[in-house]
Amino acid sequence: MHKTGSQILIDALKKEDVEYIFGLPGGVIIPLFDTLFDETDINFILTRHEQAAGHAADGYARATGKVGVCIVTSGPGATNLTTAIATAYMDSIPMVAITGQVKTHLIGSDAFQEADVTGITRPISKHNYLVKDIKDLGTIVKEAFHIASTGRPGPVVIDLPVDVTTDTWAGDTPDTVNLPGYKPSFEGNIRQIKLAADAINRSKRPVIYAGGGVISSNSSEQLIELAEKANLPVNTTLLALGVFPEDNEKALGMLGMHGTVPANYAVHESDLLIAIGARFDDRITGKIDAFASQAQIIHIDIDPTSISKNIKVHIPVVGDAKNILTELIKHVSHVERKEWFEKIADWKKRYSSLYDNTSDVVKPQYVVEQICEVTKGEAIVTTEVGQNQMWAAQYYTYTNPRSFLSSGGLGTMGFGFPAAIGAQLGCPDKIVIAIAGDGSFQMNIQELSTAVKYNLPVKVAILNNGFLGMVRQWQELFYDKRYAHTLLDGNPDFVKVAQAYGADGFLVTEKKDVRPIIEKAISINGPVVIDFRVDPEENVFPMIPAGQAVTQTKGVELI
């Protein structure tokens, strides 16, 4: 039976068990949406901006581990989506982005709403396709999902000309893929694994540095087992929060520019750093020649191009983290390391809180702590970017993987709220809370309409300090308090904005109201915005200035 390209695409998506598609229609993509109109097995979520559609698909993928899918139209629809594609690419998130395109014979003619999507997205996607023949469409979709979800995950773009969607063909989508040039290594070299185990068994001051790859490989259980068996302290990157329970005595918390003192000092004084699924980015390393300068370094990663890219490593192990950790556990032994853990315990005691929690002013850290207490640490937390992101990372206790969703590599303002929408759809039984700044929330504030339309009980906690907070903090510390264009004195009344969209909204100006309003918001079966008026000049500490070493940490008394 002959099928249109649109039907072939929809059937291929159904074969991949796609549950939700996020997006926005437009001219050249109408034939696909016309086919989608009658589809009952796939739910289409209409967002109010293409960037938000991409972030929602991204948030769905981060929360569920499945491939997120979004569909937008050509030209400006596709270019609006590029920020979301780049966000997913930097954080290695599996996503398939389908963009409409003008008819094949018009490509390159500067036709109405034409953009070179393959050229634009080549540097910000794991792979991309321009479909030129309907006979290739089913195979391309199958390959796209395989590439997006295997190896080091990432977004794959399918650019789909309108005439391909209206053509007909009697073929079908293949059940397997054949990609001779794409063969990720999943099993680690046993010799390298044994070398790593021997180094762990001999070390006196080891520390695990766990990255987002541990979440991608679903190897949280193996990480915990390794840490317990070999008696190893564990710190995590921003994107790995929750992969090792932060209420475990071996947990050091997040490391890096705004990481905890125990995490950063442990790396600084370690004799063995065990990096798992992490890429040694600049926000972690700071001054490269001062980073873990006393340590031998083990690096476990599925992406061979990440090995020794930024930091020279001594024992590389290429492969899937779950497979490698499963084998590594067999070869490690329990070592007491009493002095090392005593030193770590002293750091934890001395630097347990770095803000004035006795103040009557509403402190943003206090708000996050209260959100954690009310939700018992079981919520999915999404964030925007900046101070709100760091406070959410520092003052909420994460005990489960896929419970903290944030734009790490690209640092995309506007990510958190649409990502929360995607996460809520993917995990309907979870409390989902988007922690935002008053600046970043306005980047995709229109998605209140989406949350209301689908009655999604996402809660937005705005840490409203009246500034572009992190930029203001840098201006205070490094630019003599010259607050150039960071004062947001034109902010709207967020409560009224929420109500205008049909959501509930609350204003909190006093500390005594923080917890009761959080509890009330969570009890409401629908979207809620809470405007917390917090200390306008509160800073995020600790802070290691960009490109500096741990010894230049600001906001704490150095040891």
Could you tell me the residue range of the domain that residue 84 belongs to?
A: 3-169
- Scanning the structure block, which residue is given the tokens 């005691």? 349
Q: Is 547 a domain residue? A: no
Write down the pLDDT at residue 558: 52
Q: Is residue 178 part of a domain?
A: no
Instruction: Answer yes or no: is 239 within a domain.
Output: yes
Same domain, residue pair 246 and 371: no
* Burial status of residue 529 (CB atoms within 10 A of its CB: 0-12, 13-18, 19 or more): buried
CA atoms within 13 A on the CB side of 422: 35
Q: Which of 350, 385, 411 is a domain's end point? A: 350
170 vs 352: CA distance, rounded Å: 65
Burial code (b: 16+ CB inside 10 Å, e: under 16) for 458-477 equals bbbbbbbbbbbbbbbbebbe
Contact 200, 230 (CB under 8 A): yes
Amino acid code (one letter) for 506:
F
What CATH number corresponds to the domain at position 346?
A: 3.40.50.1220
Residue 37 sits in the same domain as residue 134: yes
pLDDT of residue 557: 65
Nearest to 418 by CA among 386, 451, 385, 378: 451
pLDDT digits (tens, 9 = 90+) for 236-259: 999 999 999 999 999 999 999 999
Comparing C-alpha atoms, which of 380, 399, 390, 395 is closest to residue 244? Answer: 399
If you write DSSP's letter for every residue of 130-192 in order, what string do you get? E---HHHHHHHHHHHHHHHHSSS--EEEEEEEHHHHH-EES----SS---TT-----SPPHHH
Question: Where does a domain end: 316, 350, 384?
Answer: 350
Please, which residues have CB within 8 angstroms of residue 153's CB and are 6 or more apart in sequence? 92, 93, 94, 126, 216
Strand 3-4 versus strand 168-169 pairing type: antiparallel
- Domain membership of residue 107 (yes or no) is yes
For position 216, what pLDDT does the model report?
97
Using one digit for the tens of pLDDT, what is the confidence trace for 389-399?
Answer: 999 999 999 99
Q: Which of 324, 312, 296 is nearest to 206 (CA)?
A: 296
Same domain, 205 and 238: yes
Predicted TM-score (pTM) of this structure: 0.97
Same domain, 417 and 516: yes
The terminus-to-terminus CA distance of the chain in angstroms comes to: 74
- Residue 396's pLDDT is 98
Host H or E run for residue 236: strand 234-236
359 within a domain of the structure (yes/no): no
- Sheet arrangement for strand 272-276: 251-254, 234-236, 206-210, 272-276, 296-301, 315-318
- Residue 314 near residue 272 (C-beta atoms within 8 A): no
Q: Would you list the DSSP string of 353-414?
A: --S-TT-SS--HHHHHHHHHHHHTT-SEEEE-SSHHHHHHHHHS---STT-EE---SS--TT
What whole-number distance in Å separates Cα of residue 63 and Cα of residue 419?
9
Look at residue 29 and tell me if it is in a domain. Answer: yes
**Per-residue tokens: 472:** 């203001």
One domain, residues 203 and 163: no
Q: Are residues 381 and 346 in the same domain?
A: no
For residue 559, tell me if it sits in a domain.
Answer: no
**Residue 160 phi, psi dihedral angles, 5° rounding:** -120, 105
In this prediction, residue 357 carries a pLDDT of 87
- Among 512, 501, 384, residue whose Cα is nearest residue 448: 501
Domain shared by 413 and 472, yes or no: yes
Q: Domain count of the chain?
A: 3
Domain ends where: 169, 201, 218? 169
Rg, C-alpha atoms of the chain: 24
- For 185-223, the DSSP string reads --SPPHHHHHHHHHHHHH-SSEEEEE-HHHHHTT-HHHH
List residues bridging with 185 in a β-sheet: none
Q: Which pLDDT score, from 0 to 100, does residue 559 have?
A: 46
Let me know whether 85 and 154 are in one domain: yes
Residues 145 and 195 in one domain: no
Residue found by looking up tokens 């798992």 in the block: 276
Instruction: Please indicate, yes or no, whether residues 381 and 345 belong to a single structural domain of this protein.
Output: no
Tell whether 122 and 33 lie within a shared domain: yes
Query: How, if at all, do strands 272-276 and 206-210 pair?
Result: parallel
DSSP three-state, residue 67: coil
Residues 110 and 154 in one domain: yes
CATH number at 110 reads: 3.40.50.970
Q: Tell me if residue 48 falls in helix, strand or coil.
A: coil
Question: Residue 501: CB partners within 8 Å, gap ≥ 6?
Answer: 448, 449, 452
Residue by residue, pLDDT tens for the chain (559 residues) are 899 999 999 999 999 999 999 999 999 999 999 999 999 999 999 999 999 999 999 999 999 999 999 999 999 999 999 999 999 999 999 999 999 999 999 999 999 999 999 999 999 999 999 999 999 999 999 999 999 999 999 999 999 999 999 999 998 888 899 999 999 999 999 999 999 999 999 999 999 999 999 999 999 999 999 999 999 999 999 999 999 999 999 999 999 999 999 999 999 999 999 999 999 999 999 999 999 999 999 999 999 999 999 999 999 999 999 999 999 999 999 999 999 999 999 999 988 778 888 989 999 999 999 999 999 999 999 999 999 999 999 999 999 999 999 999 999 999 999 999 999 999 999 999 999 999 999 999 999 999 999 999 999 999 999 999 999 999 999 999 999 999 999 999 999 999 999 999 999 999 999 999 999 999 999 999 999 999 999 999 999 998 898 888 888 765 4
Distance of CA 277 to the CA centre of its chain: 14
In a domain, 325, yes or no: yes
Residue 351 is predicted with a pLDDT of 86
